[in-house]
Chains A and B, each alone.
Chain A
Amino acid sequence: QSALTQPASVSGSPGQSITISCTGVRSDAGDYKYVSWYQHNPGKAPKLIIYDVSHRPSGVSPRFSGSKSGNTASLTISGLQAEDEADYYCGSATTSSTHVVFGGGTKLTVL
């Protein structure tokens, strides 16, 4: 499985915007180019916050947005809040589940 690479950590102050990158995403045709993002506080269930690159599930704050350019996907959190402090993972999974991989995770610290 090809690897997805994320920065180990990012930080920002309340009210600021931050972006977390995820490199190694395939850009060819088919399912492989789709990325999802998860927010995780250890010991709790990871929470899906972005699917198919840029779509938000119902109930997820519009402060979370996703995009992709070439082989790099990005998660942007605007108007940072203390409650956003968590680990964030990108993931790529085909519909058939023949290809499933997660990035190494990024720890977000809200200063």
Chain B
Amino acid sequence: EVQLVESGGGLVQPGGSLRLSCVASGFTLGDFPMHWVRQAPGKGLEWVSGINWNSVNIHYAESVKGRFTISRDNAKNTLYLQVNSLRPEDTAHYYCARKVGRAFDFRGQGTMVNVSS
């Protein structure tokens, strides 16, 4: 069964950092581009960042560029998102997803990041 398990979220003060992880099972992570998508409370889905299979092509939303860093370790079947200089507006559920063609396949329940003093 294909599964993605996100972790690493929590309560952090503005300006703080976290490292989110997404562990894949049931498929080979290295076969897919991977992405992070978030949902702020009461808001819709917002694409955050994506990385291709060999980490050569990386893209970020303007709202997180320069503060967030996406990376992957295919040997460990794990995707990461380093989130720095956090702001209250970064408060959201963060989901990882594998990219299948031109669509996203979400398989995890996400991890919650709460930025508050």
Contacts and interface: CB of A to CB of B under 8 A. Distances in A.
Given A46-B45, A103-B44, A52 B102 contact: yes
A102 B106 contact: no
Contacts of A43: 93, 109-110
A63 interface: no
B117 interface: no
Nearest to A100: B47
B82 to A, nearest CB: 19
Nearest to A31: B102
A51 B44 contact: no
A97 B59 contact: yes
B70 to A, nearest CB: 11
A40 B108 contact: no
Interface in A65-111: 87, 89, 91-98, 100-105
B106 A45 contact: yes
Interface of A: 31, 34, 36, 38, 40, 42-48, 51-52, 87, 89, 91-98, 100-105
Given A42-B39, A46-B45, A46-B95, A100 B50 contact: yes
A40 to B, nearest CB: 7
Interface residues of B, number: 28
Contacts of A97: 33, 35, 50, 52, 57, 59, 99
Nearest to A51: B103
Main SS at interface, chain B: strand
A40 B109 CA distance: 11
B102 A102 contact: no
15 contacts: A40-B45, A42-B39, A43-B109, A45-B4, A45-B95, A45-B107, A48-B103, A48-B104, A51-B102, A52-B103, A89-B44, A91-B104, A97-B50, A97-B57, A102-B47
A48 B47 contact: no
B75 interface: no
Contacts of A31: 102
A93 B44 contact: no
A6 to B, nearest CB: 9
A80 to B, nearest CB: 22
